Amino acid sequence: MTQAQDARVALLVEIATEELPPKALSRLSESFSQSIANELAKLGLRPNNASVEAFASPRRLAVRLADVAPHAADTQKEERLLPVSVGLDPQGQPTTALLKKLTSLGLTLGKDIELSQLKTVSDGKQEVFVCNRLQKGASLTEGLQVALDRALNALPIPKLMRYQWPLGANGSLEEVSFVRPAHHLLALHGAAVVPVSGLGLAADRITLGHRFHSSGPISIQNALSYEKQLEVEGHVIASFKTRRDRLVDSLQRAAKGQNVVMPEALIDEVNGLVEWPVVLEGQFDEAFLSVPQECLILTMQQNQKYFAITDANGRLVHRFLLAANLESTQPQTVVQGNERVLRARLSDAKFFFDQDRKRRLEDRLPGFAAVTYHNKIGSQAERIKRLEQLAAQWAPQMGVSEAHARRAARLCKADLLSDMVGEFPELQGVVGRYYAEHDQEPDEISRAIEEHYRPRFAGDALPNGSIGQLLALADKLESIVGIWGIGLAPTGDKDPFAMRRSALGIARLLIEGALPFNLETLVQDAANSFSAVPAVAPPVADILEFIRERTRVYLRDQGHDAAQIDAVLAVCPNLFHQLPKRLHALAQFMGSSAAPSLSSANKRIGNILKKAEVTPDRVDPKRLQDPAEVTLGGLLKELAPLATAAAAEGNYEKALHALSALKQPVDAFFDQVMVNAEDPALRANRLALLQELHRAMNQVADLSKLAATN
C-alpha cells in the first residue's frame, strides 16, 4: 500500500448561503455532489466506487466523499511527438522541431531524455516518435480547486444573482454571481482545511447553523462529525433525505389515522424551506367545504405550502398541516396566524366559485370570439367549432350520442373564462365539471368536460367515459394537426406546444382504451377540419409518422421488443387497438423453433419479389412441378385461409401457429427449387407462389424485420 493510499480519509465540501430556491434544491444538490465526485475520480484522487453523501438544506449545499487521497499517484504517460522524417535530419540528427516539441513537454534532450530512449511506432502511414514520461499526480488542493470551479459552473441555477463581496484584507469588493449570496466555504480533508477558494471565499472549517436556534457560527471538527455537529449545535438536519423522511413521518403521525394529501413535489418544496421541520395542525371553517375540494386543496398547496387531510373516503376534512422551521414556545400562536392567512385564501376561492356559478357555461362562449388561439389559426371560438365537428363525426364509431358529443365539445373549454381558472389554471376541466353539474348538464357531458384533458402527463389516468375519450382524441389531434400545419413541428429538444405529450396521449387512448379508430382517418379528418383556414397546411404523412414514433417509444417503455414493434407496425400502422394482442402473439411465436427459419425465409422472399418485374396474382396448381413446390403449394392452400380467418378474428396466436407448419416445406422449397427458372411461365408461377406465401406469413407482423435478430 502506498503512502497516498494510507492517508485516504473523508473529504467534506460545503457552501453556506442565503436561502436557496426550494424547488431547485434537490437538483442543485445532486449536481454539486456528483460533479465534485466525478472530477476527483478523473484526477485519481478517489475511487469511482467510493461512497458519495450529498447534503442540502435551505442554506447550504455540501458533499462528503469517502476514501480521498491527499495526492494522486504519478502515472506513466505515452506522448506522440513527431514523424521520424520530421524529427531527424538526413544525417540522423535531431531537428529543431523535435527539440522544441520535447521542450514543450518539459524535457531537454541529452539531460532529461536521450534520443535512444525515444520509441518509434507506425500510425499506418509513417513511423512516429513516442516517448514515455512520468506525469505527476495532482495534489488534493489542486484537484479540489479544479473540481469546485467546474461544479459551480455546472450548477443548474434557475436564475443567477449578482452581488459584491469583500476581497482580501484591504476590503475591496469583488462582484460574484451565484444562485444566492454565499457566506462560507468549508473544505475539510479529515480534520485538515484544504486551502481552496470560490465565490470570493477562502475555505475554512466554519459553517452556519439554524437562523434562529443556533447561537452562532459552528466550527466543524472533521469531515465525519459534520451532520452530528450541525444537528446538535446548529439545530439543522443537513441531509435532504433524512429531513424529508422526518417530515413525511411527522405529517403522517399528525394526521391521526386520516390521509395526508402530500404530492412528491410539495414534499420536496417544503423540505427545501425548512432546516428543522416541526409539523403543526390547524383548522378552517367547515363552511368552506361547500367549495370543490380540488380548489381548496390547490389553494392550500400553491399559496401556503400546507398539507390537506382527507378521510377514508377521500373527502376533504377541515383540518390542515403545516411545516414550521422552528420549535416555537407558543405553537398555538403560529397556528392561529396561519389559520388567519388560510381563511383569507379560502374566502377568495369561495368568492370565485360563487361568482362563477352565477353565469352558465354556455353564456361564456361568445367571449371566445375575442380570445386568440393562435394568430395564424384563429380564435378559440373557431377551435371549439372544429372540436364540435370532429366529436360529432366520430361519435357513431364510439357508440355515443352525436348530440351529447357535440354538446360536450361545445362546453369543454368554457371554464377557461371563469374566475376560478383565471386564478388556478391547473383546475381547467375540473371546475368545468362542477359548473356543468350546477347547470344541470347530463352527467356524461359534465364528466367529459373534466376528462378530455387526460392524459395530461405520462402515467396520468385516461378518461373513463366514452365522450371523454372522444373529446380527448379530438382535442389532441386538432392541436397537433393545427400546430404542424403552420410549420411549428417539434425540433430537437424544443417542443413548446407539448406535441410529443399529445402524441403519447393519442397512442395511450387508442391502445389502452382499445378504441377501434383508424389513425390515418383520424388525422385526415382533423386536417379536413382546417379547410377554412388557409394558413394551415397539415403534412398528414409527417404527422402520422410522428405519432407512430411516439407510439414506438411508449411500447418500448411497456417492455416490448423494438424489432417486434417495428415488425407489427409495418403491417398494422393505423389500428393501434390491435397492437398489444399482435405484439403478445408475436413474442410467443418468436420463442418457437420455427420462427428463425420462417423469418429468414420471409426476408429472402421479400428480396426476391422486389427484384421481380411482374408477379402473377394467382398460382396455377397445374404448373407446380417439383415435389417441394407441390408440397408447399398444397399446404399453403390449406393453411393460408386458416391463418387469414384467425387474424381477422383477432386470434393472432392461432394465425402464427398455423404458419409454423410451413417451416419444413419452406426450407425444402429453397433447398430444391430454382425460383428463377428459364421457362418464363414456370418462373412466374413460382413467384406467384412466393407472393401468396409472403402475404400469408405477414398477416400479423412483417417477419422479415426479425430475421437479423435470430
Q: What pLDDT was estimated at residue 169?
A: 57
Average pLDDT over residues 231-245: 96
- Does 4 score more than 60 pLDDT? no
Q: Could you give the CA distance from residue 574 to residue 548 in angstroms, rounded to a whole number?
A: 9
Q: Could you give the CA distance from residue 414 to residue 354 in angstroms, rounded to a whole number?
A: 16
Tell me the pLDDT band of 681, cut-offs 50, 70 and 90: confident
For residue 578, the 8-state DSSP code is G
Average pLDDT over residues 137-164: 93
pLDDT in tens, 566-585: 999 999 999 999 999 999 99
- Does 172 score more than 80 pLDDT? no
Average pLDDT over residues 81-93: 87
Average pLDDT over residues 12-31: 96
Q: What pLDDT was estimated at residue 236?
A: 97
Q: Spelled out in words, what is the top-level CATH class assigned to the domain 3-72+140-234?
A: alpha beta
**Torsion angle of the four alpha carbons 519, 520, 526, 532, in this order, in degrees rounded to the nearest 10:** 180
Tell me the pLDDT band of 118, cut-offs 50, 70 and 90: confident
For residue 362, the 8-state DSSP code is H
CATH number listed for the domain at residues 366-559: 1.10.3210
How far separated are the first and last CA of the chain, in Å rounded? Answer: 50
Q: Enumerate the domain spans of the chain.
A: 3-72+140-234, 75-135, 240-356, 366-559, 580-709
Q: What pLDDT was estimated at residue 5?
A: 42
Is the fold of 366-559 the same as that of 580-709? no
Type of residue numbered 613: E
Tell me the pLDDT band of 617, cut-offs 50, 70 and 90: confident
Closest CA to 82 of 127, 142, 149, 135: 127
Q: Could you give the CA distance from residue 662 to residue 664 in angstroms, rounded to a whole number?
A: 6
The helix (H) or strand (E) run that includes residue 340 is: helix 331-356
Q: Up-side HSE of residue 167: CA atoms within 13 Å toward CB?
A: 11
Q: What pLDDT was estimated at residue 3?
A: 36
Closest CA to 81 of 134, 137, 116, 121: 121
Tell me the pLDDT band of 609, cut-offs 50, 70 and 90: confident
Which residues have a Cβ under 8 Å from the Cβ of 624 and sit 6 or more positions away?
Answer: 630, 633, 685, 689
In the chain, % helix, strand, coil (3-state, to 5) comes to 55, 15, 30
Tell me the pLDDT band of 7, cut-offs 50, 70 and 90: low
Which CATH architecture describes the domain 580-709?
Orthogonal Bundle (1.10)
pLDDT in tens, 622-655: 888 889 889 998 998 999 999 999 999 999 999 9
Q: Could you give the CA distance from residue 46 to residue 71 in angstroms, rounded to a whole number?
A: 10
Tell me the pLDDT band of 2, cut-offs 50, 70 and 90: very low
Q: How far is CA 299 from the centre of its chain?
A: 28
Q: Residue 9 corresponds to which cell in the numbers above?
A: 480519509
Tell me the pLDDT band of 167, cut-offs 50, 70 and 90: low
Q: CB-based burial of residue 284 (10 Å sphere; 0-12 exposed, 13-18 middle, 19+ buried)?
A: buried
Type of residue numbered 467: I
| C-beta neighbour count of 567 within 10 angstroms | 27
Contact 56, 214 (CB under 8 A): no
Higher pLDDT, 364 or 492: 364
Please state, rounded to an integer, the average pLDDT across all residues of the chain: 92
Q: What pLDDT was estimated at residue 1?
A: 36
Phi, psi at 283, each rounded to 5°: -135, 160
Contact 538, 529 (CB under 8 A): no
Tell me the pLDDT band of 675, cut-offs 50, 70 and 90: confident
Contact 247, 323 (CB under 8 A): yes
Tell me the pLDDT band of 117, cut-offs 50, 70 and 90: confident
pLDDT in tens, 270-319: 999 999 999 999 999 999 999 999 999 999 999 999 999 999 999 999 99
Tell me the pLDDT band of 168, cut-offs 50, 70 and 90: low
* Percent share of the chain, pLDDT over 90: 72
Q: Could you give the CA distance from residue 72 to residue 143 in angstroms, rounded to a whole number?
A: 9
Closest CA to 600 of 705, 486, 443, 473: 705
